[in-house]
Amino acid sequence: MKLILEQAEAATPLIRVMKFRSASGNALSGYSAGAHIEFELGDTGKRRYSLVDWPSACDLYTVAVQREDTGDGGSQVMHKMSAGQTIEVELPKNNFSLVDSAEPVLLLAGGIGITPMISMATQLQKQSRTFQLHYRARDASRMGFADSLTEAFGDAVSLYLDDSNPLDVAALMRSQAPNTLVYLCGPRGMIDAARAAAVSAGLPESAIHIELFTTAEIQQGDTAFEVEISDSGQVVNVAANQTIIEALESAGIDVMYDCQRGDCGICQCDVISGIPDHRDVVLSDAERESGRVMQICVSRSKSPRLVIDI
């Protein structure tokens, strides 16, 4: 569908809040807390941003985009949009929805990963559910909405800056009730540390829900390998600078996927033989150790060939 940028304003020098209405004048499609929409940014490709909902009602789609001057260009395109400009988007999707439960909830956000957590906190508050929202950022320029969060959610909110008031994630996880549901959103380093701390504190991995705000990156030492499709026997070469999904699509093989960041689980496939190099945040430690399943959007191979069932 097509949207028109109705309003844009700066939350911080790096974060731009953008509100869109339908270009057709029709009502916008509904969605649940944690959902995102994917923007078509021309030559830059597609970029997805979480939808932001506050307790005060709004009939527009709201996203917040943090400008990354050394990134891949998507945020820069979004920051250059002007009011009245039209853009195409896909309908809202949700791979990070809240579990319908009476259990207490811990929301932990890093940087611009706060955006889906705002909608989650809004929903939890409306449902009178017990929750905590902990929000850390590198510095004040990357912490948007601090005052608005405190105003909306009061004592449920705790704020941390790495350069002055760092978060002790291990202590935070140890303080949680054993039945707490944990939602993590932010950069990979924070996600890995928080997940490990939660498991170490005795929280079950099944209670931990994750969304990354970083994309797959080529790592030093990555090399080419082959992927064989088990049912057809077709062999595809995956270059050092390609993901498995990119290689399969280039070879004309249709693949089901969404996030391309290793956090939604939609691209998971069975491993028939070979040794996967796991780089996702979806699988449990036991699943990784088994080597029998993998997320082909980000993970690679430690063996010359992987045989997979897609």
Whether this prediction's pTM lies above 0.85 is answered by no
User: Could you read off the pLDDT of 48-84 as tens digits, one per residue?
Assistant: 999 999 998 789 999 999 998 876 688 999 999 999 9
Q: Strand, coil or helix: what is 151? A: helix
pLDDT at 72: 67
Q: What count of Cα atoms within 13 Å lies in the side-chain half-sphere of residue 118?
A: 25
Residue 295 burial (CB count, 10 A): 28
User: Could you read off the pLDDT of 270-279 as tens digits, one per residue?
Assistant: 999 999 999 8
pLDDT band at 257 (very low <50, low <70, confident <90, very high): confident
Q: In what order do the strands lie in the sheet with 86-88?
A: 61-66, 15-22, 2-10, 86-88
Lowest mean pLDDT, pick from 8-17, 106-115, 209-218: 209-218
Average pLDDT over residues 290-308: 93
The token pair at 32 is 């649940």
The contacts of residue 159 (CB under 8 Å, 6+ apart) are 135, 136, 143, 146, 149, 150, 165
Q: Strand, coil or helix: what is 218? A: coil
The closest of 300, 286, 252 to 308, measured between CA atoms, is 300
Q: Which domains does the chain have, with CATH numbers?
A: 2-88 (2.40.30.10), 105-212 (3.40.50.80), 225-309 (3.10.20.30)
Average pLDDT over residues 236-243: 92
The closest of 150, 152, 122, 151 to 135, measured between CA atoms, is 150
User: Could you read off the pLDDT of 123-143 as tens digits, one per residue?
Assistant: 999 999 999 999 999 988 889
